[in-house]
Structure 1
Amino acid sequence: MSVPFGVDLGNNNTVIGVARNRGIDILVNEVSNRQTPSIVGFGAKSRAIGESGKTQQNSNLKNTVEHLVRILGLPADSPDYEIEKKYFTSPLIEKDNEILSEVNFQGKKTTFTPIQLVAMYLNKIKNTAIKETKGKFTDICLAVPVWFTEKQRSAASDACKVAGLNPVRIVNDITAAAVGYGVFKTDLPEDEAKKVAIVDIGHSTYSVLIAAFKKGELKVLGSASDKHFGGRDFDYAITKHFAEEFKSKYKIDITQNAKAWSRVYTAAERLKKVLSANTTAPFNVESVMNDVDVSSSLTREELETLVQPLLDRAHTPVERALAMAGLKAEDVDTVEVVGGCTRVPALKATLSEVFGKPLSFTLNQDEAIARGAAFICAMHSPTLRVRPFKFEDVNPYSVSYYWDKDPAAEDDDHLEVFPVGGSFPSTKVITLYRSQDFNIEARYTDKNALPAGTQEFIGRWSIKGVVVNEGEDTIQTKIKLRNDPSGFHIVESAYTVEKKTIQEPIEDPEADEDAEPQYKTVEKLVKKNDLEINGQTLHLPDELLNSYLETEAALEVQDKLVADTEERKNALEEYIYELRGKLEDQYKEFASEQEKTKLSAMLEKAEEWLYDEGYDSTKAKYIAKYEELASIGNVIRGRYLAKEEEKKQAIREKEESKKASAIAEKMAAERASREAAGSTNEQAQKDEENTKDADGDVSMNQDELD
C-alpha cells in the first residue's frame, strides 16, 4: 500500500508531509533537517542532491543547479528567463525554445532539461521518505506556485512520473496551505462563511489567496501573485549593496568572481535573518576574494531602505486578489501569513497596513503547504479514511475550445468554456452538429492576460468515428470537456446521440391497481456510439518520457554503486587502522610473532595501495582487499573473543555461585527462623495446657467445698 505524501517543492527548500499515525507528519532528511535544499549537483562520478549538493556547492558552483522551480516549463523566449539568469551559477543554454542546464558530469559536458533535474530531486525526496518511514511511496500531491501555466503544471506532472511517482494531484501551493487551515481549524462556522486571506511570501514568490471557509468546506474566491518578490530578492539587494561597498573599501569586485559573489550572497541571507530579530548586525566573510577578508555591518533601517522598491509594490497582489474575489480589505475576517520571508519586520508591518488589521500566524510558516498537500493526497487514497473536506480552486486564466468548421453545420467555431475566476475541478458538455470526423483544440482565450512568452496552445484532439444517420446531413455530437483537479484542460469523452421513438408508461396515481398500464409515444435522445479520441497535450510524448525514465534509472544505479564503493573504501581504511592498533594492544597475546609480522606487512601494503593506485578503485577490489586482511585478522580476533568469552563465563559462574550461596544462606536462615518459631509455639501450647489443668483443679476443689 502506497503511503500518501505531499511535497512542497520550494525554490530554496522542500518540505515533505506524510499522512500517517492518524495525522500529518513532517519527515526529516538524512541530517535530521525538516527542510531539504532544492539543489542538484554533478560531480566526477555521481550526483549530489539535496543536503550533499548544498555541502559541495561552493566548491562546485558551475555544476550545481538550484532554482529548479523557476525554469521548469519556462520557454526560453520568456522575459522571465532573462531575470532568472542572474540567480544561476551553472550555465544555462537554449535549444528549440527550451532551457537546458549544461554541466560537467563524469568528465564530459552534459545537458539536462528542467524536467529531468526536478525528477532527479523528487527521486531523492522519495528515497528520503522511504528511508525515514520504511514505507512504499507511489502517490504524490505536488504543490507548485499558483502562477504556473498549463505548460509548467504539465512539466511538474511529467517530472513526478520520471521520478517513479504517480501525481494524483498538482495543487497550487497557497491552496494547499488553505486546505491545511480549513482541515485543522476547529472553530470554523457551519452557516455563514468566514473570509480569510492567506498570504505566502517564500524564497521567490509572493502569493495571496482569498477564500471562504465553512466547516468541512473551502471555496477559493480569488488569488494573485508577484513571481519576482521573495526572500532571494532581499538577499540580492543586500549582496549588491556590499558589492558596491567592497569596490571602494577593499578594491575588489565580487560581481566578476562567481565564488566570491556566492559566498557574500550566502552571508547576506544569514544577515537578513539576524536583522529580523535585531536592529543591527555585523557582516564578515573571510578570504572572500584575492585573500581579502571583508567586514561591515548593516542596520534594519538600512535594509528597509535597500528593499523599499519591493515594499512599495507589496499592496499589488493583495488588491488584485481582492478584486477577483469581489471584496474589499475590510471584508476579510482574518489574514493568515506563511512563508519564510514574512519574518522580515518591515514586510509584516506593510502587510498589516495594507489589510488594515493585525496578522495571524496560527499556521506553521515553513510547513503549512506540505501538510495541506499531504492531506490532499490522503483524500485521493483508496485505503485511507480522512475527514470530509471539499475544496475548489479558481482559474487564473480563461480557456476556450476551438473546432473545425463543418460545411454541413451552421454553428460557431469556438466557445469560452472555463472563464477566468471560474472554479475547478469542473466539467462542461458542449453539443456540436457534425457530418464527419473533426479536430478540437484548447487555447487560452486572452493572450494579453498571459505572462509574456506563454503560448496560447494547450491541447489538440482528433475525434474520429462520426457516422451520420441515413437521410440526415449531420448528427448531434456531445463533447465532455474537463478542467481536472490538477488544473489540466482535457477532452474527457465524446459520443454521438440520435433521436429514438420509445413507448413511455404514463404515471397515473389515481388509476386502479388492476387497470392496464397506459403508454405514450415520445422521442428521446440516446447515445448512439462512443467516438475515438486521440490527443496531443503539453505533456511529454510517451517515447521521450520513457527515455527520461531509463536515464534516471541508470543514474540512480550509478549513484548507488558510487556510494557503495565509497562505503567499502571507508570500511577498508577503518579496518586497516583498527587492526593495526589492536595488534599491538588487545590482540597482542593472541597472535604469534610470525602472524604479527605477516599481518603488519599486509596492512602496510594495503595502506600503500589504498592511497596510491587503489585510491580510485572498484567496489569489488575493496571487498577483496578487506577479505584478504580479514582472513588472518578474524582468526586472531576469534581467539581474542574466545578468551573474552571464557572470562565472561568465569565471571558468570562466579556470580551464579555467589547467588546460589546467598540463596542457600537465606533458605537456612528462614528454616532456622521457622524452627525457632515452631519451638516457641510448642512451649506456648504446653503453657496453655498447664493453665487449663490448673483451672480444672480449682474447680474440683470448689466442688468439694460445696
Structure 2
Amino acid sequence: MSTPFGIDFGNYSSVIGVARNRGIDVVVNEVSNRATPSLVGFGVKNRYLGEAARSNEISNLKNTVGSLKRILGRKSDDPALEIEKKFITSELVDVEGLAGVKVRFQGEQKTFNSIQLAAMYLNKLKHITTTEIKGNVSDVVIAVPVWYSEVQRRAAADAAIIAGLNPVRIVNDLTAAAVGYGVFKNSELPEDKPRNVAIVDFGHASYSVSIAAFKKGELKILATAYNRDFGGRDVDLAIANHFGKIFQEKYKIDIHSNPKAFSRVLTQAERLKKILSANTSAPFNIESLMNDIDVSASMTREELEEYIQPFLAQIPEPIERALKDAKLTPADLDSIEVIGGSSRIPSVKEKLVEVFGGKSLSFTLNQDEAVARGAAFICAIHSPTVRVRPFKFEDLNIYSVTYSWEKVEGEDVNELEVFPAGGWFPNSKVITLFRTADFDLEARYTHPETLEKGINAWIGKWAVKGVKPSENGEAVAVKVKLRQDPSGFYTVESAYTAEERTVEEEIPFEGELKEGEEAPEPQYKTVKKWFKKDDLTIVHTHTGLDDAAQAKLLEIESQLTSEDKLVADTEDRKNALEEYIYDIRGKIDDLYKDFASDDEKARLREKADAAEEWLYGDGDDATKAQYIAKYEELASIGNVIRGRYLSKIEEERQAKQAAQEAEKQRIMAEKLQAQKAAQAAAQAEAAAKAAEEAGSQDADGDVSIEN
C-alpha cells in the first residue's frame, strides 16, 4: 500500500508532507531536518543529494547545482538563465535544447539536463520519505510556482516519473497552502457569504500573492499575481555585495574573484539576515576567507533595511494587481495569511501591513510547511487508501489558451479561445467540427506577449484519426472534448463522431392535479439530438518528454541510484573494517586476554596491522568485496576468541542465574517453613485455648449432695 505524500518543491529547500489516517505529518530527513536543501552535487564516485550536497557545496562548487526549480523545463537560450548565473556555481550549457549543466562526475566531464537534475533530487526526497515512514510511496502531488507555464509543469511531471513516482497532480504552491488553510479551518468557515483571504508567499527566489474565497468545504482562487524574480536570495546577495565592498576597502581582497570566498560570504549573509530578524545588530565574521585573512564586520537592522529599500519597493505592485483582478479592496479581506521564510524580515512585514491598508497580518499557517501539508492533503484526496473530509477547490487560469485547426470549406473560423485567462480549472469544453477525413488540432497561448521571455507559446498538437465521411460522402460531425486538467495541462480528452437524429421527447407536465384527478395523457415534441457513433484515435504531441525519452532517462537514473547505493555500501564496509581493527586491538589485551593463546594474539595483531596498512594504502579505494574479505579474514580469528569470551560470559550468566534461582528457592523454602511453623503454633495455641475453655465448663458443672 502506497502512502500519499506531497512535496513543496522549493528553490532553497523542499519540504515533504505525508498523509496518514491521523492527519498530515512533515517528514524529517537523515539529519532530522524538516526541510531538505534543493541541491544536487557530483563527486568522484557518486552524487551528493540534499544534505550531502550542502555539506560538500563549498569544496565542490563547480559540481554542485542549485536553483533546480528555476531552470526546470527552460531552453538553453532562455533569457531567464542570465539571472540564474548569479546564483548557480556550475556551468550552464545546452543539453539537447534544454538548459543543463556540465560537471565533472566519476572522473569525466558529463552533462545533465534540468529534468534529470530535478529527477535526481525528487528521487532523494522519495528515499527520505520511504526511510522515515518505513513504507512505500508512489502517488505524489508536487507544488510548483503559480507562474509555471505548461512546459515547466510537464517538466515537473516528467522529473517525478523519472524518479519512479506517479505525479497525480501538479498544483500551484499558493493553492496548496490555501487548501491547507481551508481544510484545517473548515469548522470556522461560513456556509453562505465567502471569507476572503489573501495568501502572501515571500520565498527564497520569488514572491507571489493569491486572493482566495473560502466557504465550508470549498475554495475558489479569485486572483493571483507575482514577481518571479524577487525573493530572499536577492536580500542575501545585497548583503554579500555590501560586505564585499567593506572587505575590499578594509582587507584589500576581492571576494568576487574567488567563487569559494563569495559563496562563504553569501552563506554568512543569509545567517546574518535571520539574526537581524530577531536582533537589532549582528556580527559578521569569517575565518580565513581569502589569502589566510580573517574578516570581521557588523550590521544593524537599520542598515539592512536601508540596503533592501529597492526590494521593498517591489512589494506593493503584485498585491495591488491581485486585489484589482479579484475586484476587492484591502477592507474586503477577512484575513491576510503570510508564509515563506523571507516573510520573517521585520521590514517586509511592515511593508505588507502598509500595502494592505494597516490590516494586521496573520500567521495561522506554518510559514515553512503550509504548502507541503496542503499538497499532501490534495494527494490524499486522490488516494483510495486514505479517507479525508471532502474539500472542493478550483484554481485560477492565468494564461489564455486558444485551440486552432485547419479551416475547411464552409467554415468561418478555424480557432477558438477555449480557456480564457481568469477562468477556473479543472474545466472541459466540447466543440463540434464537420470533417470528411483525419485532422489536427493545435493549442497555443493566445497572447504570447504576456508570457515570460523564452517561454514557447506553442502548447501541443493532437492528430485526430479514424474520421470517415458518411455513406453519401458528406462531412460527419466530430465532437471533440477539450480539457484543462487538475494539473493545468491542456489536452484533448476524447473525440468521437456523432449523428443527429430526430426523436420524440416527452413534455414535462407542469400543472397541478386536484385530489382524485388523473394525470393527463403525456404530450410529446419532436426534437433533434446528437448521438455518439464511433470513438476516434488521438495522437498527442506536447512539450514534455515522450515515452521513449522518459524510459531512457529512467534507466539512467536507476543506474545512477544503484551506483550511489554501491558507493554507500562500500563506504559502510570500509568503516566497519576500520572499526573492527581498532576494536579487536583494544579487546585482545583487555576483555579477550584470558581467552586466546599467545600465538593467536600474535597472529591477530599481525593481521590487524597488515589490514590497517592496506586500508590506508592500496585499500583506500578498494571494492566492497575486498573490504568484506579483509573483514572476514580478521573475524575468522577474532570471532573464535570472541566466541570463547561469550561462552565464558554465558557460563557465568547461567551460573549466576542458577545461584539466583537456588537462593530464590532457599528463601521460598524458609518462608514456607516459617509459615508452617507459624501455622502449627497457631493450631497449638488454639487447641490449648479450647482445652482451657472445656476445663472451665466442667468446673462450673460440679454439684455436691449432702445427706
What TM-score range do you get, normalising by the shorter chain?
Answer: over 0.9
* d(CA) in 1 for partners of 2:697, 2:543: 115
Letter of the aligned partner of 1:429 in structure 2?
V
- Match in the other structure for 1:524: 529
Q: How does 1:97-246 map to 2 (within 5 A)?
A: 97-185=97-185, 186-246=187-247
Does the CA-based 8 Å contact 1:498-1:525 persist in structure 2? yes
* d(CA) in 2 for partners of 1:314, 1:203: 14
Distance change in 2, residues 1:644/1:268 (3 Å): same
Superposed displacement of residue 503, structure 1: 5.5
Superposed displacement of residue 471, structure 1: 3.4
- Match in the other structure for 2:389: 387
* d(CA) in 1 for partners of 2:567, 2:288: 33
Superposed displacement of residue 249, structure 1: 0.7
Superposed displacement of residue 671, structure 1: 1.4
- Match in the other structure for 2:405: 403
* d(CA) in 1 for partners of 2:94, 2:422: 34
Q: How does 1:497-646 map to 2 (within 5 A)?
A: 497-502=498-503, 522-646=527-651
Superposed displacement of residue 535, structure 1: 0.9
Distance change in 2, residues 1:519/1:304 (3 Å): closer
Moved more, 577-586 or 487-496: 577-586
CA RMSD of aligned residues (A): 2.0
Moved more, 676-685 or 79-88: 676-685
Superposed displacement of residue 94, structure 1: 2.6
- Match in the other structure for 1:490: 491
Superposed displacement of residue 676, structure 1: 1.8
- Total equivalences in the alignment: 700
- Match in the other structure for 2:30: 30
* d(CA) in 2 for partners of 1:596, 1:9: 57
* d(CA) in 1 for partners of 2:678, 2:412: 114
- Match in the other structure for 2:76: 76
SS at 1:59 equivalent: helix
Letter of the aligned partner of 2:642 in structure 1?
R
SS at 2:622 equivalent: coil
1:434-477: CA deviation from partner (whole Å, max 9, x where unpaired): 23221111100111111112111000011112222233632222
Q: How does 1:46-445 map to 2 (within 5 A)?
A: 46-95=46-95, 97-185=97-185, 186-356=187-357, 357-407=359-409, 409-445=410-446
* d(CA) in 1 for partners of 2:105, 2:41: 9
* d(CA) in 2 for partners of 1:589, 1:467: 94
* d(CA) in 2 for partners of 1:410, 1:340: 55
Superposed displacement of residue 95, structure 1: 4.7
* d(CA) in 2 for partners of 1:107, 1:137: 34
Letter of the aligned partner of 1:528 in structure 2?
K
SS at 1:364 equivalent: coil
Does the CA-based 8 Å contact 1:406-1:435 persist in structure 2? no
* d(CA) in 2 for partners of 1:404, 1:512: 60
* d(CA) in 2 for partners of 1:633, 1:399: 73
SS at 2:325 equivalent: helix
* d(CA) in 1 for partners of 2:378, 2:386: 11
Letter of the aligned partner of 1:77 in structure 2?
D
Superposed displacement of residue 521, structure 1: 5.9
* d(CA) in 2 for partners of 1:332, 1:524: 47
SS at 2:135 equivalent: coil
Distance change in 2, residues 1:568/1:400 (3 Å): same
- Match in the other structure for 2:660: 655
Moved more, 448-457 or 23-32: 448-457
* d(CA) in 1 for partners of 2:660, 2:258: 71
- Match in the other structure for 1:479: 480
| Structure 1: 5+ residue stretches without partners | none
Superposed displacement of residue 195, structure 1: 0.3
1:265-309: CA deviation from partner (whole Å, max 9, x where unpaired): 000000000000000000000000111110000000100111100
- Match in the other structure for 2:683: 678
Distance change in 2, residues 1:100/1:664 (3 Å): same
1:353-394: CA deviation from partner (whole Å, max 9, x where unpaired): 111200001111111111000000000002221101000000
Moved more, 136-145 or 591-600: 591-600
Does the CA-based 8 Å contact 1:443-1:459 persist in structure 2? yes
TM-score (norm 2): 0.96
Superposed displacement of residue 505, structure 1: 6.5
- Match in the other structure for 2:468: 467
Superposed displacement of residue 685, structure 1: 2.2
Does the CA-based 8 Å contact 2:176-2:372 persist in structure 1? yes
* d(CA) in 2 for partners of 1:82, 1:204: 14
SS at 2:620 equivalent: coil
* d(CA) in 2 for partners of 1:285, 1:621: 42
- Match in the other structure for 1:689: 694
* d(CA) in 2 for partners of 1:630, 1:277: 56
Letter of the aligned partner of 1:293 in structure 2?
D
Does the CA-based 8 Å contact 2:460-2:543 persist in structure 1? yes
Superposed displacement of residue 98, structure 1: 2.2
* d(CA) in 1 for partners of 2:639, 2:196: 72
* d(CA) in 2 for partners of 1:157, 1:299: 44
* d(CA) in 2 for partners of 1:586, 1:60: 44
Distance change in 2, residues 1:466/1:513 (3 Å): farther
Superposed displacement of residue 527, structure 1: 1.1
Does the CA-based 8 Å contact 1:501-1:524 persist in structure 2? yes
* d(CA) in 1 for partners of 2:507, 2:288: 94
* d(CA) in 1 for partners of 2:17, 2:508: 56
Letter of the aligned partner of 1:269 in structure 2?
E
1:471-529: CA deviation from partner (whole Å, max 9, x where unpaired): 36322221100000000000001112112344666778999999999977654321121
Superposed displacement of residue 666, structure 1: 1.1
Letter of the aligned partner of 1:419 in structure 2?
P
Distance change in 2, residues 1:404/1:17 (3 Å): same
Distance change in 2, residues 1:505/1:389 (3 Å): closer
Distance change in 2, residues 1:521/1:311 (3 Å): closer
Percent identical residues? 59
1:293-344: CA deviation from partner (whole Å, max 9, x where unpaired): 1000000010011110010111111111112211111111100111110110
Moved more, 175-184 or 680-689: 680-689
1:78-97: CA deviation from partner (whole Å, max 9, x where unpaired): 33211111101111113554
* d(CA) in 2 for partners of 1:477, 1:211: 38
Does the CA-based 8 Å contact 1:207-1:224 persist in structure 2? yes
* d(CA) in 1 for partners of 2:691, 2:557: 99
* d(CA) in 2 for partners of 1:275, 1:359: 20
* d(CA) in 2 for partners of 1:695, 1:364: 96
